[in-house]
Structure 1
């Protein structure tokens, strides 16, 4: 059944069941009300008819000279019987039966016993201005309500009445039956409606399950097998749910085709990068070798040629580094396995920081290491490259005098108590990375030359390699940057 929240937040199943229950309740109340009103009207007219017949028989008996007491009338509606009789003379006094001298002032109480009308009840009847049309008079709780009529013959006024209690009892019993039937019907409609709605909406649940399964797939990169489809039984175009299922399958087919096209395009690009990088290594090595050989020539060489050869050698070295980075990324994208030997990160950090200090003595290099060595399973050369790239990034994009701290500890950034994670971080107090650049900082060829001071050129692949190598080690890398503090955090699984 629906919860007590806003109807707008109810499920379709709850709305349908609530609508069924509300409709049944409205129909039951309306039908029950009409039945009770019609029954009450019929019984009331029946009472009036019996009253008129009783009065008519009394008038007939009086015409024959009999007692004005008259006959008691037939059976009353509801199973009861009995009449009210009050005979008054011209002065308003109760007339006595000449046969037994009993006063002609009797009625039947609510318990069905014949009683004599009290003075107060007689006064009530006198003051009621009773005529030849039935009207209702209340004679108190013990005697009840009567429908009464009066007939005058000479100096005698005879008041006859029929009790309305049987009608009231019948109507009350009918109200009870209608209420009980409505409550029972509500329970049956609620339970049966819930079952039927749940059963009829089961195909929609299956369609939603397929959509949820697809939404949980990782579709942003790599080869994607989008095999989820709505079952054929739930794709009947003649039903509303089948139309939804058919539309979802059509959409999934289109998405699957687009993902396959994207995967094929990515594969071709990666293969091209790998092939191009591999093929460029040989000519670049030749260019560099000939440049070095030309500079060693014993014969005098013009100064301009020496300078040009130096620039050729320098740019070939730079291009060779770019080619090596591209080739490494292509190999990582292809899923080439890495070594998983024990690697002492503590010693690796010491070596990397020592090399950075030698390369850039104008920066302040610091280490924050634990007392005990920390090891992780991985590829030593690739993890060393992660540290070298992070330190090189700090050196290239921060001004002289910047303090760069390399720290290593157990536990993650979110939960320092974890023992299955090793956290490696490189933090500097430089100008920081612009907020607009931070979401894309680990993408390939992303460069922050306009935002951070730089002393040397950048290929935009250093941090991409950091992210790719960390991911290949089943770890993750994050960035926290603001003016005066930039921290790259690498989390790796512990041994």
Structure 2
């Protein structure tokens, strides 16, 4: 508990207060340093002026002439012989070093000098500062040599010096206090103006948190730090909003997936349960009735088994798909799939051709293409790729009227708006586009059926989605075939595309990266 309190007490204040007090502290240090330097320079200059006056003061030789009374101490004063300034004080010492007398007067107390020159500890020509006889005044003194090994001390009061330095100190203190007060007030205003974009960003962030995630920060000037921060935060909000939308969409798809799976499973389970209860209640049925009930039970059980297998395959493809990696020729895969689907075509003519060989509506199905078939080699799992082509052919045969021609076209090219692999208007795919210009292998399954509406084309790759709303297994299956085919294509580094329009048929296109050996 004590440690937590200490941590809280040591937390820094707001950015505004730290900027204000930091600027005030730096200004105080700068002003104080300037005042200290100025004070020291002025003090040294004034003290040098006093020392210069002491150096320039020299008594004339006649001031030391002896009169008829050599034993008189101090010597008689002769005001007319020496003209002393009023502020100077002279103290004389004899050859032995004893004080002989004082010359000069004034109201201020004189310097406090010892009776013996030896106790001064002062060399000739080197000034020093001593206190006054009484009070808090100071004197500047300098020792000078006189004839006959005598000496005298010249003194000047430092009242003017002390008064000037004292007034300067008070002035500096007042200037420092006024400067800091004004600087703090000005800094608060400047910092408030400078941090105004951050304040607006804070309010906008609060509004975004409370009300609407679609709001954005207003300050995005790239020339300022706050503007760049606002740009980054807006980008982060865009990604967050997109992630939330994707999450909501994913949750909605998951709920719809669970509901559709439950519906698909409930129908055959209900049939199995009904026929089983019927068999238990009516033991005297004929053998034909029992065989029909058993056949329907087996049929619905197979339907459940296929549905569960598809669900498990989708879960495996979503989690960690395990594909074999070997060279696969899409032309051979297409030929095998066309041969297998021909037995269940129900009157649909199926033709294998080269990519780019157009088949217009009403064109004779027996007309051969002028273009030659080419190898389209890629790397992948041949079993899974055959499953994709089989699903596409089964989808075309199931959702088109009998007699509708189905074209399977195989070839290579470059990813682009024409050959496939990239997005363009009228093209739908649940997978991201490939790099434009990349070498690709393409397998198209095109039919001349009724086509799909734009709304149906956008949802055709969703799981359990069927254009036929009847949800009958005999009209479109469970709606997992295209979802499985799209997952396998994306797992191979490619994608499955759809181009369709009402009344113009549909083209499902499998686009895969071309093998490194493909020219």
TM-score category, normalised to shorter length: 0.3 to 0.5
Bigger CA radius of gyration: 2
Provide the TM-score with structure 1 as the length reference.
0.47
